[in-house]
Amino acid sequence: MKIRNPVLVGFNADPSFLRVGNDYYLATSTFEWFPGVQIHHSTDLANWETVSYVLEDDQVLDMTGLEGACGIWAPNITWSDGLFYVAYTIVYTNRYRYKDTCNFVVTAPDVRGPWSAPVKLSRQGFDPSIFHDDDGKKYMVVQTIDHRTSRERFTGIDVQEYDPVQKKLIGQPVRVFGGTKHGTTEGPNIIKKDGWYYLTVAEGGTEFHHRATVTRSRSVWGPYEESPYNPLIISYGQEDCQLARAGHGQIIQGHDGNWYMAHLCARPVDMCSILGRETAIQNICWTEDGWPKLEANDNAKPETAFDVPWDVQQRFGHSQRVDFSHDPLPIDYVTLRHGMEACGVSIDNGQLLIRGGFSPMSRFEQGFIARRQQAFDCDFTTRMHFEPRHLNHIAGMMVYYNYDNHYFLKMILDEQGKCLTVTSVLNREMEDSAPVYLPDEAEAVWLKAEIRTRELQYFYSLDGKEWHKVGGVLDMRNISDERIEGNGFTGSMLGVHCSDCMGDGVEARFDFLHYDEL
């Protein structure tokens, strides 16, 4: 049976792959979005459901003031001794040579939690994973950084023993692999098969030269030799390759005995990854001399489908209407850097209530809630109640990449009355569309974003039937990793926002949020 890739669409990057019995799990990065560490579950490898987040408490995950693309990087999920382990990094600073990071591990008997208090592992490097050896010993495997300008910044992979009883690292870290000539060596994972320790790493950077490299050793401490079949997977230079930026992979054995690799990828439009980095799966085979490689071809090209030996119907397309008649909100909706309560987001009398926070360009408390865009063609619609008392009360709908790059259909009160306008923020450069004035008696307004691959058009309505344009056609390619300045690792998010830039108290209410893929 053929399963179409990617299996996790939209912003779902850096997959960690795990099987426990007949259940499969993928953990993906969440960066500055809250809650932290998204966990997906499947029983057939085709259809995946987000079942939990690992870090749901503001006291456990404090991302106050973090820059965009910092926060949670590359979580790793494993299972041993009846417990799920999740190792992850919080990136606090990501500057030219320095990265201020802290690596943690948490455990839980159930992937849905509750999760233990985080254990601090180290502050060196990022992308930690936990390897459970068959003698009962456990090890942290982690990428390392050198801040000296005369050296390669990404310096290789370290292994250090972890004591689960003392809940700390013991002994000294050992550099087991220095990376290849392609550089930017990160995302390490170790598996053991037939007496060999196989170390898989991501290399080449997460842009279009990305790849996965595999090495092996007879000892967990190395030395690790490179596979003669490397790269394990790569998109760059491949003819007619529809899954670009392939890399950062992890290999598992399925309950059917076959081997699979989950990896990140992207489906760029004109070299712009609008939906962000996604997750795909490939079939893996083993060579006669004991190396893993892609089963489908000899050139390490990622395929748009993979095989499973069972019948399954893969579900496509997605529509979700949330009318706030039930609490809590669907798991798809997330906030920035803090939980919903801290962001002033709640459900009140069958409506979504957002108390005004800081502006959309703030790194602190924002009254904003959003979900991933997961199809190139989709509509996002809401009905908003908002009574701004002056110019600095702002609310509306956003198509959002980060604080420096977004499109905001907003209501304000200017010198002539209540109006709608679209503010485009592209690498901090702002531009407003001409205002559209609303009748004084209008108690609510419908807002809609129509996204058609490269193009975004905002609309409003006073009755939910007759729609009128606000602003011109906007370029969705600007909402992508490739168009922003600085680091960009996420993807397009669709949501609603309320700002109180006066600080005298204002709120917006929303009757529903409707996301519909075409």
CA distances from 368 to 250, 359, 483 (A): 34, 10, 23
Q: Which of 282, 297, 298, 289 is nearest to 247 (CA)?
A: 282
Q: Could you give the CA distance from residue 169 to residue 167 in angstroms, rounded to a whole number? A: 7
Cα separation, 27 vs 12, in Å, equals 9
Candidates 168, 170, 188; CA nearest to 178 is 188
Name the catalytic one among 58, 67, 186, 500.
Answer: 186
Bond preceding residue 231 cis, omega within 30 of 0: yes
Q: Are 150 and 134 in contact (CB under 8 A)?
A: no
Is 334:33 a contact under the CB 8 Å cutoff?
yes
Q: Which amino acid is at 235?
A: S
DSSP string, 62-108: --TTPPTT-EEEEEEEEEETTEEEEEEEEEEEE-SS-EEEEEEEEEE
Read off φ and ψ for residue 476, nearest 5 degrees.
-70, -20
* Cα–Cα separations (whole angstroms), residue 397 to 99, 257, 420, 490, 514: 34, 48, 11, 19, 12
Residue 490 has phi, psi (to 5 degrees) of -105, -125
Burial tier of 304 (Cβ tally within 10 Å: 0-12, 13-18, 19+): middle
**What distance in Å separates the CA atoms of residue 380 and residue 401, rounded to the nearest whole number?**
16
Annotation marks residue 186 as catalytic: yes
Q: How distant, in Å, are the alpha carbons of 47, 113, 177, 326 from that of 218?
A: 37, 36, 14, 55
Task: Tokens for 352, please give them.
Answer: 């979504």
Pairing label, strands 154-163, 168-177: antiparallel
Which of 238, 229, 242, 322 lies closest to 511, judged by CA?
A: 322
Residue matched to tokens 């407003």: 432
Angle at 437 (CA atoms; ends 508, 423), nearest 5 degrees? 65
Distance of alpha carbon 38 from alpha carbon 61, whole angstroms? 14
DSSP 8-state code for residue 27: E
Longest dimension (CA), the chain: 77
Amino acid sitting at position 185: T
In three-state secondary structure terms, 261 is: strand
With tokens 């890399």, the residue in question is 247
Residue positions annotated with a catalytic role: 14, 186
